[in-house]
Amino acid sequence: MSKVLSPSPLPYDVGRLKELSSDEVKLMPKLTYCGHSCALIESEAGNVIIDPFLTGNPLASHTPEQIPKLSAVLLTHGHADHLGDTIRLAKRDGAPVVATYELAAYCQSKGTEAVTMNIGGSYQADWGRVKLVQAWHSSSYQEGSETIYTGMPTGVIYSVEGKTIYHLGDTGLFSDLELIGKWNGPIDVALIPIGDHFTMGIDEAVEAARLVGAKRVIPIHYNTFPPIECDPEEFKKKVADAGGRVEVMKPGEVVEL
């Protein structure tokens, strides 16, 4: 069973850390579930956040001010409940927005740094490696009465310090999830939407978990709004019955990777 860490107390002996040199201490990367589809991944290489919808998110565990200094912001697509506080956080820290060409370019037009990518491509930086893969959804941003096209939706595969996290983004079920999992694996953690209505529902998400073959799965994109209300414990049981492992995380909880 993986260890679920609360924000406090610290999950290590601070006194002991003070006795050790920096070469002797290496903290494991950790993932904080911030609610909806937002994940904060912290490591010695740097901090990245995926789909930082915090302001206006009734389940958000953090305000933008509580997010630590970021090395990058990774986006799956341009809908408001994923783009969220991207511009604010990226400009605050001088962190690049890493996304499809159209979405990253939109953020750049608002004053951020950007890494413009597309599906199938990868990008290596000091803070980790990003690969964009397919997702079946849509992607746009509403600015007043104008609908801005923000490219194709994606899943994001982020690798850092020997760990690989696959955020499926908003998607329906599709068979190439198996190829994505095998080609980019082993996947340590997969974040899979389960809320139905805008994405796959629980039963499709169970099959998605089987196809991806991650060591553990974290359900996302549920219970934020009435149309996507569902029971993550049902998902957990069905995945367990199929031989998989699920961590149901409350917003603000942390797991070591």
d(CA 9, CA 11): 6
| Domain assignment of residue 12, yes or no | no
d(CA 130, CA 118): 11
| Domain assignment of residue 21, yes or no | no
Range of the domain at 156: 27-250
Classify residue 24 as left (phi > 0), alpha (psi -120 to 50) or beta. Answer: alpha
Q: Which amino acid is at 257?
A: L
The pTM is what? 0.91
| Domain assignment of residue 14, yes or no | no
CB half-sphere exposure, 174, CA atoms < 13 A:
17
Q: How confident is the model at residue 25 (pLDDT cuts 50, 70, 90)?
A: low
Mean pLDDT, rounded, of the chain: 93
Q: What pLDDT digit, counting tens, does each position of 170-190 carry?
A: 999 999 999 999 999 999 999
Judged against a pLDDT cut of 50, whether residue 9 lies above it is answered with no
Q: What does the radius of gyration of the chain's CA atoms come to, in whole angstroms?
A: 17
pLDDT reported for residue 136:
98
| Domain assignment of residue 204, yes or no | yes
Q: What pLDDT digit, counting tens, does each position of 103-140 carry?
A: 999 999 999 999 999 999 999 999 999 999 999 999 99
The three-state secondary structure class of 143 is strand
List CB contacts of 195: < 8 A, sequence separation 6 or more: 201, 221, 222, 223, 224, 227, 228, 229, 230
Top pLDDT among 27 and 236 is at 236
Element at 81 (helix H, strand E): helix 80-83
Q: What percent of the chain has pLDDT over 90?
A: 89
Q: How confident is the model at residue 10 (pLDDT cuts 50, 70, 90)?
A: very low
d(CA 136, CA 202): 16
pLDDT reported for residue 19:
54
d(CA 103, CA 29): 27
Backbone angles phi, psi at 220, to 5 degrees: -140, 175
The number of distinct structural domains making up the chain is: 1
| Domain assignment of residue 75, yes or no | yes
d(CA 210, CA 182): 12
| Domain assignment of residue 126, yes or no | yes
The three-state secondary structure class of 78 is coil
Other C-beta atoms closer than 10 Å to the C-beta of 99 total 32
Judged against a pLDDT cut of 80, whether residue 20 lies above it is answered with no
d(CA 47, CA 134): 24
| Domain assignment of residue 5, yes or no | no
pLDDT reported for residue 27:
82
Helices first, then strands: H and E counts in the chain = 7, 16
Query: Strand 30-35 relative to strand 146-149: parallel, antiparallel, unpaired?
Result: unpaired
Q: What percent of the chain has pLDDT over 70?
A: 90
Find the mean pLDDT for residues 208-221: 98
| Domain assignment of residue 191, yes or no | yes
Residues in the chain: 257
Angle, alpha carbons 16-20-24 (nearest 5°):
120
pLDDT reported for residue 202:
98
pLDDT reported for residue 6:
45
Query: The domain that contains 238 carries what CATH number?
Result: 3.60.15.10
pLDDT reported for residue 24:
52
The three-state secondary structure class of 181 is helix
